[in-house]
Structure 1
């Protein structure tokens, strides 16, 4: 039974690592998409993203 439990734990860890890697990839793509979208919207509205000064 311990061999079975160890094999199951190894499979779970492998799947968990794969899932975490996929989530990280998705998050990186999402961040890049949001940056691009924000820049496009700012360009459409002619808003400077670098310097917005509020007095």
Structure 2
């Protein structure tokens, strides 16, 4: 029974690590998408991005 608990915990830990990796990938893609979108909108409106502090 203790072996089952340990293996379940190990599986859960591996699953959480994988979820965290996937979420990090998603966040990077989302950030890149937002940056490109912001640049496109600025170009359409002829706004300089250099003087604007965007977080």
Q: If the length of structure 1 is used for normalisation, what is the TM-score?
A: 0.91
Unaligned runs of 5+ in 1: none
Distance across 2 between alignment mates of 1:9 and 1:25:
24
- Spell out structure 1 runs of 4+ moving beyond 6 A: none
CA RMSD of aligned residues (A): 0.7
Corresponding pairs, count: 52
Unaligned runs of 5+ in 2: none
- Aligned equivalent of 1:24: 24
Quick check: which has more Rg, 1 or 2?
A: 1
- Aligned equivalent of 2:40: 40
After TM superposition, give the deviation of residue 39 of structure 1 in Å: 0.2
Q: If the length of structure 2 is used for normalisation, what is the TM-score?
A: 0.91
Distance across 2 between alignment mates of 1:3 and 1:25:
33
- What do the CA deviations read for 1:24-46 (whole angstroms, capped 9, x no partner)? 00000000000000000000000
